[in-house]
Amino acid sequence: MSLKILIHLIAAARPNFMKIAPLYHALKKEVWAAPIIVHTGQHYDLNMSDAFFMDLNLPEPHIHLGVGSGTHAEQTGQVMIAYEKALLEQRPDLVIVVGDVNSTVACALAASKISYESINSSNPTNRERPLIAHLEAGLRSFDRTMPEEINRIVTDSLADILLTPSQDANENLLREGISKDKIRRVGNMMIDSLEMLREKIQGQASYEKFGLDPRDYGLVTLHRPSNVDDQNMLESLCQTLTRIAQNISLIFPVHPRTRKSLEQNGLMSLLNEADDLHTVEPMGYTRFMNLLFNCRFAITDSGGIQEETTYLGIPCLTLRPNTERPITIEQGTNQLCIPEDLESRVESILSGKMGRCAVPELWDGQTASRVVKSIEGLLHAYIVTASYTRNQPNDTMN
């Protein structure tokens, strides 16, 4: 290939940055690829976004849509409007969306409906739109009350290539009638980021700041609307955490959504007054991962932490009725947990009751190279069969 393929990597919210970083670095090494980072601005605080770019050695985003917060429709709609303009200006050949946040579905929708024809009639392939790849395709919680589940289903139905982390995801897609020709099992990209930065992660001792030793504490993260938006649920969780902290220290980096709800409901002081319950601001990637590497267990409702604890062999209690990542339960260290059972589950972990676990296949730090190969194969097929146009990227973007 003599001309470079212009590839947009869509980054929006905290968990996305770890999924695009290994891919950006891998694509940069390919002579045929010109990767461009598009930040929608869904997460915008320094410690929710910039700190991750620095830790993951990512350049400043090449395009920043600056959308920010809003209701689901506002956020999704505003990303679509802003990204449509970027698509028309840049005419990427491929758009890679990751995960399941509102920006993922918004960019996939904008890319699937765009027509380059109307703005550049001199382009011989002006009927074309960019191809769409979805990384982390096929995950399903089967719970449509979760906004992320809607985002997953819609994004997968629009994607031209579906890059999955595990066999269960392939099966979900096949069941929904998606052609097997579009599906590639590539493994888990989060593990690539973890391995890429393992030395830096292990070179720190974030727990010392709290006067703690490795395995001396549990790590807590909570941000799902079902746990933090409802006052009664949040209050009962806070009370449970303060009781657990009487047995073992807890470190709780508080997500902005959770902080807002804690403050609105007057619950921040309940946590702050508890001995050995350390609430802190959200942390950058390597500092947080150092805490995760060294904790005795995690209590979470995050998707990524279910996977990272499985990879590290650390017990994880997931405060949700379901998970789109069942492999972390079947093979890994994850357990779903209702708030009423949290204390007794922690006691079991502290008394050493823990089954054996395995690292799922293809969670090996080599996912980015498998994605690059899959993309190369896909583009080759399109270039041969559909005379797909390869744009010459703007030099400043390189």
Q: What residues are annotated to the active site?
A: 223
Please report how close the Cβ of residue 304 comes to ligand UD1 at its closest, in angstroms: 8
Binding mask 145-184 for ligand UD1 (x = CB under 6 A): --xx------------------------------------
Residue from the set 69, 246, 272, 387 that interacts with ligand UD1 by CB under 6 A: 69
For ligand UD1, the closer of residues 88 and 336 by Cβ is: 336
Within a 10 A sphere around the Cβ of 27, how many other Cβ atoms? 23
Give the whole-angstrom CA distance, residue 285 versus residue 14: 9
283, 206 in Cβ contact below 8 A? yes
First to last CA, the chain: 17
Report, in Å, the least distance between residue 34 CB and ligand UD1: 27
Tell me which of 39, 134, 152, 223 binds ligand UD1, using CB under 6 A.
Answer: 223
- DSSP-derived pairing of the beta strands 183-185 and 161-164: parallel
- Using the Cα atoms of residue 159, residue 118, residue 76 and residue 38 in order, give the sign of their dihedral: positive
Report CA-CA distances (Å) from 226 to 21, 26, 99, 238, 321: 29, 37, 19, 14, 10
Which parts of 93-122 interact with ligand UD1 (CB under 6 A)? 100-102
Query: Which 278-317 positions form the footprint of ligand UD1 (CB under 6 A)?
Result: none
Q: Could you say whether residue 256 binds ligand UD1 (CB under 6 A)?
A: yes
Interface residue with ligand UD1, options 45, 74, 89, 208 (CB under 6 A): 45
Question: Taking CB under 6 A as the rule, does residue 231 contact ligand UD1?
Answer: no
Is residue 324 involved in binding ligand UD1 (CB under 6 A)?
no
Nearer CB in complex with ligand UD1: 72/113: 72
Q: How far is the CB of 178 from ligand UD1 (least distance, A)?
A: 22
Smallest separation (angstroms) from ligand UD1 to the CB of 291: 17
d(CA 162, CA 375): 10
Following DSSP, what letter does each residue of 71-89 receive, concatenated? Answer: -HHHHHHHHHHHHHHHHHH
Q: What is the DSSP string of 320-338?
A: SS--S-THHHHTSSEEE--
Nearest residue (CB) to ligand UD1, 328 versus 374:
328
Identified binder of ligand UD1 from the candidate list 5, 9, 18, 48, rule CB under 6 A: 48
Q: Which is nearer to ligand UD1, 147 or 339 (CB)?
A: 147
CB of 234 to ligand UD1, least distance (A): 14
CA distances from 23 to 202, 208, 233, 342, 391 (A): 22, 33, 38, 37, 20
Provide the 10 A C-beta neighbour count for residue 203: 10
Site for ligand UD1 in 326-365 (CB under 6 A): none
Q: Which stretch binds ligand UD1 (CB under 6 A): 251-259, 315-323, 333-341, 366-374?
A: 251-259
Q: Does 185 bind ligand UD1 (CB under 6 A)?
A: no
Instruction: Give me the least distance between CB of 20 and ligand UD1, in Å please.
Output: 14
Indicate which single residue of 43, 278, 320, 325 sits in contact with ligand UD1 (rule: CB under 6 A).
Answer: 43
The set of residues, in sequence order, having a beta carbon less than 8 Å from that of 73 and lying 6+ positions away, is none
Q: How many CB atoms lie within 10 A of CB 373?
A: 13
Which residues are CB-neighbours of 167 under 8 A, at least 6 positions away? 185, 361
Residues of span 1-40 touching ligand UD1 by CB under 6 A: 13-15
Footprint of ligand UD1 on this chain (CB under 6 A)? 13-15, 42-45, 48, 69, 100-102, 147-148, 223, 255-257, 260
